Every structure is written in structure tokens, then in C-alpha cells.
Amino acid sequence: MKEWIKEHKKVLGILVLFVVLFIGISYAWLRLTVIGKKEVSVKGNNLDIILIETNGDLIIEDAIPVVDETGKVGNSFKFYIQNNSLVDVDYDLLLIDNKEKQKECEECEYIPYNDIRYELKRVNLEKVDSLTENRVIDNGNLKRGEKNRIYYELKIWLDINAGNEAQGKVFYGKVAINATQVNQPNGPILADNMIPVVYDGTDKRWEKADVTSEWYNYNNQEWANAVTVTATSRSGYQQAKAGVEVKMADILQMWVWIPRYSYTIKSEDGTHYYGKKEDGRLDEPSQLLPGEIDIKFIRKDEKDENGSAQYTGKYATNWYTPPGFTFGEEELSGIWVGKFETGYSSGEGTGVGVDNEIAARKDIEEPNKAIIKPNVYSWRMIRVSTIDLVSRRMIESGNVFGYDQSTYDSHAMKNSEWALISYLTQSKYGKYGNPLYSGMNKEVYMNAYNAYVTGCSFGVPSAASTTTCENQYDVMTDRGNGQGYAGAGASSTGNITGIYDINGGAWEYTMGVLNKMSGNTATDNSGYTGQLADESTFQGRVWPAAKYYDLYTSNDLTTACNGNPCKGHALNEVAGWYGDYSSMVYKTNPWSVRGGCHSVDALAGVFGFSTYFGSVLSSLSFRQVLTPIVNS
């Protein structure tokens, strides 16, 4: 071999291409020489993946170091992959050493992997890069069926910066596909009084879901929804068949399921962690236009506790499970989140329509009047301690919603639970991954209506206050050009299955407090017993158990959680994303608020956070959470 190279006075780098498919923990080594037309199919663990080569061989001749422009002129190896399974799969495409081929040429010397450059093309991807130690050259999701096959073109060459030690050597490689079933979320846990629902876009109505079939699909940004209804209609809906309309007049509360997950955030430049650059995006992620947050769904008994929640290198590592999925000592498979800001019903639990705005502004403890639905006024002018009591007493015996407090806990949303919405929204499972939206329109659209009516949308991410509800929550006509739906674009999914009022509407108190302070003054405080800004003590209500609030120990974002950054609280990690307001709790304003209100324009958003006294304010509302405790 060495003599042949010397004789021809050229360096030959040959990539003999073989195919390797790993499926789950079982695998098959399938070797394919790229000459002529070949097909490889592997089945195992209920997965069925095929790879078909569509042209001839892939050989690099004259493998002297060349610049990328020259390397890209060479011949392409073309192939496609197809998923014939009954489920979608995630896959990694790798270019690895062919150890068996190397054994056939014991006297050969081989090019180091990091001196190999490659160009890879598919739809929405055209990249040139160097091989890395993990050998992954692409990854993604492969949906079921022939229509979703992915076509590739691959070229390789010797890097122009390769040293003399790389010249006169060869490279034998093979392509490997590591395919695994798509990461599936934990299914929603329904309380006995909850009716699972899906939306019929044709008839424009909510219907009882068939839980024996697919009634949610987080991979398609379709989140699970459920409702509670009036006592007089409850048994009828519980006994009804799937497909029956669930009338809005009967609905008291609407909930969305957030399944347990871990997350990590990528840095494209190695310095700023603004998220991953998705396929087809031309610009680099930035603070004003961040990228995708990586999410992996995990079981209740899984927990990533030690990760930094930041990539190391190019691929997702250092996963971290947000603390919002831990409730006291209980690890949760997920939580139910109020679909809208909490509203106030002036009727005795009837939940009918829009109530009088003045009636909605009450610092009163009336848990049976906490409704969660579109087109009602947000419950405002309510202090933190009252929010807490209203929310926790909502499931007490005799409640109008039908909850059994032996199996569920209800409480006001904590800061760490708001974070669960934030990260998932900015992932491929949320609005960020919804293909109807592009650019700035991937941010959740704003509720700019100054009357604080739930579910409204201005149809863009930021706007000045408006005196009308420009678009109802169920407006779902695609406007094209990456704008998507004018109404449902205001949800966490960009469709009607998501969570609303998280950009604009009213600011929302979240249960997060600095050093267990009560508030600012004797008149501007949360109502709890605790220190005020002047270091005097206010005597008030007893604090709830520690699991009902997040305790911050510093105003500094880098030390706010017992001397450390608050991972999983959507604070320092995402501060300023989309230009959202960011201000940490401090001595005179010790309570956290999230989301922004209609009047702050571009400063509002799902990543926005600010502070207040804990007392009543006309622009402050709240959101509720249901936590399954038993058999979750």
C-alpha cells in the first residue's frame, strides 16, 4: 500500500461506506459497499428503519489537504432514510471508523478523525464541519411513513489545516444510524371530576376526548387539556361518549398538562447560552431572538440533579430536571396548569361569561369563585396571602368543582412552576417548534387588551395597550409568512391546546419571595407575618408549608438560591430573552411577578420577571396549579 502511494505520488483517502443501525439496545451490523443500488432494512424492538443508497460509490482521490471550496466540488454519496415503524423515532447520524476494514490493511496508516472535513446536505440543512470525537454529523426526528423520508448528500475531504502527519494516510469509515423511539411524555393524570377534552376546529367547539386513542401529541405541539364543569352537568359529561360537545357555559376551569422533563441550553458561540440554532435558521441565536431549549421527557423516577443545564460542546449534555417537578418530598410525573389567568365568577360557581370588572377586583377569600376560562376578567386586586388561601382551599370538601383533596393538591403557581411553562414553550414541543411561526413570531403573542380579559391576542409578540380584544383565543386562520394564527398564536404552543395570558394581560404573582419577607410597609405587604423593608415586623397570616413557595436568599441572580444561581427557575439563564423585563426580588419589593401586563409592550413575555410588594394592585393577577399527589 505504501509503495502504491509513493509510486503515484498522491495521497489517497478512501471512504468505504458501510451502514450500521442501532435500535434501542439491540443492534445489527449491516455492511454495504457503495457500488450499485442497495437497500438495508432493520427491524427490532418494534422499530423498522430502512436506509437506501441511490447512487454509486463515495471515494476521495488525491486526498491532499484542500480548502473547503475545493472539497465541496467532489462527488456526493446520496442516500435516504425512512421510518416504517408505528412510532416516530429520534436518530443520530454518525460517521465512524470501520475497524473490520482496517484489520484488512494492517500496514495502512490512518487519518485522525479531526482532520476529516465533511459537507452534509438535506432539506433545511447544508453544513460544512469537522468530525468530532462523538462522530455525530446530524440528528433529528424521523416521522413515520414514506412521505417523511429524509434524503442526504455526503462528501468528505482532508482538512487544509491537516499537518504532515495526516498526509499519505487513508480513512476507512462507515455511516451509523442510532435510532430510538421518540421521547414520550408521561401521560396526564386525570382527577375523577376532570373531563379530558380536544378541540374540533371544524365545528369550533371543545369535545370530550377519547382517551383510548391519541388525544394529545407533544411532538406536534398538541398539549393535553382537561376541564372541570358545573355540578349539574358533571355526571352527564362523565357518562357521555367521546365526541360529545363540552359547552363553554358548563366549564368552570380549563387545565393544561405539563409532563415531567429535563432541559439544557446550548451556546452556539461557546460563550452566550441563547439556545440551539434550529434547521433552516440563518442568523445566530441572540438575547433578543433566542434559539431552541432542548427538552427530554423523563419518568417520575428519573431525575437529573447534577447537570449545569448548559451544553458542553455541540451536543446536548448536562441535563437538569427543574425543581418545579418536585413538590415537597414528592417527585411528580407532571402538573396541571391553569390554561388562562384565574378569573372571578360573580355567580355561585356558574362560570358564566364575562363578569363585571369591578367584581373581579377583590381581595377576598372565595375559592369557589376561581374560574379559569377565556373571555372573563382576571381576578385582580388580591394580595399574595389571599391568592394562596383561595388556591389551596379550592379542593376542600364541598367545593363546586368536584375535587377530592385526598388525591390532589391545588395551590398558587410558584416561580419555579412558571419556569416549566417557559422552557417547554421555547422547545420543539412548544410554540418555538411550531412550523407555522418563524423569526420573532415564535415568541408568544401578546394579550394587549387593557380591560384584563383572558385569552385575548393582539396577533404579534408586542404591542401598545388596546381598548379591544383584537383576536379571541380560538382564531385559527393561518396568515402565512411565518405569522401563524392571530388568536392561538398567544398560547404556549401557537395553537389552541396551549397556555394563554403568559405575555401581557395582567402581571401574575408567583409564589417566590426574598428571605420570607412580608412586604414593603404595614399597608403594602402580602398579608403574612414577616419583616418589612424598614426591618419592622408585620403581624398577619401564618405562612404556608415551604413546598408552596420558592425562597430566594439574595437579590443577585447568580447567588439567589442559597449562594448559587437558581437553575430551573427561568431567571438568570433566560434573563432578557426576547427583550423581556428582568428584575429580581429585593428588600422593598420582595415578591416575584411574571409575564408582564398589557401596558409594558415589548418588556412583557413568558421570560419576563419583576417584583412587587405582595399587596393588591389593579394590574396583578395569579394562576393556579393542580398537583397529582397519589399514584402520580
Contact 385, 540 (CB under 8 A): yes
Report the predicted TM-score, pTM, of the whole model to 2 decimal places.
0.80
**Predicted local confidence at residue 31, as pLDDT:** 22
Mark 459-494 as b/e (b = at least 16 C-beta within 10 Å): bbbbbebbeebbbbbbbbeeeeeebbbbbbbbbbbb
Q: Is residue 568 part of a domain?
A: no
Grid look-up 495526516 returns 166
Q: Evaluate if residue 19 carries a pLDDT over 70.
A: no
Cα–Cα distance, 481 to 479 (Å, whole number): 7
**Predicted local confidence at residue 49, as pLDDT:** 73
CA distances from 482 to 404, 478, 560, 577, 619 (A): 44, 9, 38, 20, 31
Residues 6+ apart with CB under 8 A from 568: 263, 309, 320, 321, 322, 323, 324, 416, 419
Q: Is residue 76 part of a domain?
A: yes
Q: Is residue 228 part of a domain?
A: no
**Predicted local confidence at residue 25, as pLDDT:** 25
Cell numbers for 282: 440563518
> By C-alpha distance, which of 261, 257, 286, 284 is closest to 493?
257
Number of domains in the chain: 1
| 587-598: pLDDT as tens digits | 999 999 999 999
First to last CA, the chain: 64
Torsion angle defined by CA atoms of residues 561, 567, 573 and 579, in that order, rounded to the nearest 10 degrees:
-70
Q: Evaluate if residue 28 carries a pLDDT over 80.
A: no
Contact 258, 424 (CB under 8 A): yes
Cα–Cα distance, 508 to 513 (Å, whole number): 14
Q: Is residue 397 part of a domain?
A: no
The count of residues in the chain is 632
Mean pLDDT throughout 172-179? Answer: 78
Neighbouring C-beta atoms of residue 445, cutoff 10 Å: 31
Contact 135, 94 (CB under 8 A): yes
CA distances from 59 to 74, 172, 524, 602 (A): 9, 10, 75, 54
Q: Which domain holds residue 32?
A: 2-181
Mean pLDDT throughout 86-96? Answer: 83
Which of 152-166, 227-241, 394-408, 416-430 is the least confident region?
152-166
Cα–Cα distance, 413 to 391 (Å, whole number): 9
Query: Percentage of residues in the chain with pLDDT exceeding 70?
Result: 88
HEC secondary structure over 129-196 = EECCCCCEEEEEEECECHHHCEEEEEEEEEECCCCHHHCCCECCEEEEEEEEECCCCCCCCCCCCCEE
Q: Is residue 97 part of a domain?
A: yes
Q: Is residue 308 part of a domain?
A: no
Cα–Cα distance, 317 to 204 (Å, whole number): 42
Burial class (CB in 10 A: 0-12, 13-18, 19+), 78: middle
Q: Evaluate if residue 352 carries a pLDDT over 50.
A: no
Which of 49-53, 96-100, 426-430, 493-497 is the least confident region?
49-53
Q: What phi-psi label fits residue 260: left (phi over 0), alpha (psi between -120 and 50 degrees) or beta?
A: beta
Confidence of residue 177 (pLDDT cuts 50, 70, 90): confident
What is the phi/psi pair of residue 348, to 5°?
-75, 75
Mean pLDDT throughout 381-388? Answer: 97
Q: What phi-psi label fits residue 270: left (phi over 0), alpha (psi between -120 and 50 degrees) or beta?
A: left
Q: Evaluate if residue 234 carries a pLDDT over 70.
A: yes
Confidence of residue 353 (pLDDT cuts 50, 70, 90): very low
**Predicted local confidence at residue 466, as pLDDT:** 95
| 475-513: pLDDT as tens digits | 999 999 999 999 999 999 999 999 999 999 999 999 999
Contact 415, 510 (CB under 8 A): yes
Confidence of residue 46 (pLDDT cuts 50, 70, 90): low
Q: Is residue 379 part of a domain?
A: no
Which of 335-349, 436-450, 532-546 is the least confident region?
335-349
Q: Is residue 54 part of a domain?
A: yes
Mean pLDDT throughout 413-432? Answer: 98
| 514-554: pLDDT as tens digits | 999 999 999 999 999 999 999 999 999 999 999 999 999 99
Cell numbers for 542: 401564618
